[in-house]
Amino acid sequence: MNATLAVLMRELRLALRSGGGAGLGLAFFLIVVMLIPFGVGPVPHLLAQIAPGTLWIAALLACLLSLDRLFQADFEDGTLDILALSPMPLEGLVAIKAFAHWLTTGLPLVIAAPILGITLSLPDTAYWWLVISLAVGTPALSFLGAIGAALTVGIRRGGLLLSLLVLPLYIPTLIFGARCVAAASEGMDVVPAFQFLAGVTLFTLALTPIAAAAALRMHMR
């Protein structure tokens, strides 16, 4: 427990200090969503219609932005070798790192999303579901991203390759997350889409640490 907390606190510290990139995803999210009304035009009913999809796609891309550093920084300075020798299993380490990534990248998006919903004139009924769907869906983004980050560790400028590997895996989360918000804004039943969204997240949380740890082991050999 002590070791788990030590790793988590260290990850948060590194993300929040200079060069950690914790604010990067949030700033990107804000700017991309702010650009949409300029490109589409100030037509409230049109913006309201595309708001759920726009917010979710922007959240996906914002999450990707800082993922390539998840293991790369530790690999470059030799920390990964030492972590592999530590008493903590690599699977646990991956899970803590992905959770810390969500705390510093996903959680700020969840908090900022309702404010951005206003700029896209999202209907009143959808705000709660926007927050809930992002809160439930974004952990899957960080954990799926951990697989991509583990596979591309050691590759120079692996960020682009990471995006190509990970974005297709984000599709189920995107479909059900955006569907949740859209259903809420159209006054339809939200529950089926939400159940699928939560299911995808639970599946991801359970399996990705094992997959990412296997990829890391392969790299260290």
Partner 1 sequence: MSLNVSNLACFRTGRLIFSNQSFVIEAGEAVMLRGPNGAGKSTLLRALAGMLPSEGSVILNGIALDKDVDGVQEQIAFSGHLDAIKPQLTVGENLTFWARLFEGGSVDNAVDQFALAEIWDRPAHACSAGQKRRLGLARLVVSGRVLWLLDEPTVSLDTETTARFADIIKAHCAGGGMALIATHIELGLEGARVIALDPTNMRTATPSSDPFLSEAWE
Nearer to partner 1, 52 or 209 (CB): 209
What would the two tokens of residue 177 be? 């997350």
44 binds partner 1 (CB under 8 A): no
Give me the least distance between CB of 75 and partner 1, in Å please: 10
Which span (28-36, 86-94, 155-163, 183-191) binds partner 1, by CB under 8 A? 86-94
Sequential DSSP letters for 116-143: HHHHTT--GGGHHHHHHHHHHHHHHHHH
Give CA–CA dist 113/110, Å, rounded. Answer: 5
Give me the least distance between CB of 35 and partner 1, in Å please: 31
41 binds partner 1 (CB under 8 A): no
Which of 14, 162, 166, 190 lies at the binding interface for partner 1 (CB under 8 A)? 14
156 binds partner 1 (CB under 8 A): no
Contact 136, 202 (CB under 8 A): no
Exposed, middle or buried, 68 (CB in 10 Å: 0-12/13-18/19+)? buried
Which of 17, 45, 156, 157 lies at the binding interface for partner 1 (CB under 8 A)? 17
Give CA–CA dist 74/26, Å, rounded. Answer: 23
39 binds partner 1 (CB under 8 A): no
2 binds partner 1 (CB under 8 A): yes
Nearer to partner 1, 38 or 85 (CB): 85
Nearer to partner 1, 16 or 31 (CB): 16
The gap from C-alpha 219 to its chain's centroid, in whole angstroms, comes to: 24
62's CB contacts (< 8 A; 6+ apart) are 25, 26, 28, 29, 32, 105, 109
What would the two tokens of residue 107 be? 């959680």
Nearer to partner 1, 20 or 123 (CB): 20
Residues 56-85: x where in contact with partner 1 by CB under 8 A, - otherwise, as a string: ---------------------xxx-xxxxx
The single-letter code of the amino acid at 70 is: L
199 binds partner 1 (CB under 8 A): no
Contact 96, 8 (CB under 8 A): yes
Give me the least distance between CB of 54 and partner 1, in Å please: 34
Binding site for partner 1 (CB under 8 A): 2-3, 5-7, 10, 13-14, 17-20, 77-79, 81-89, 220-221
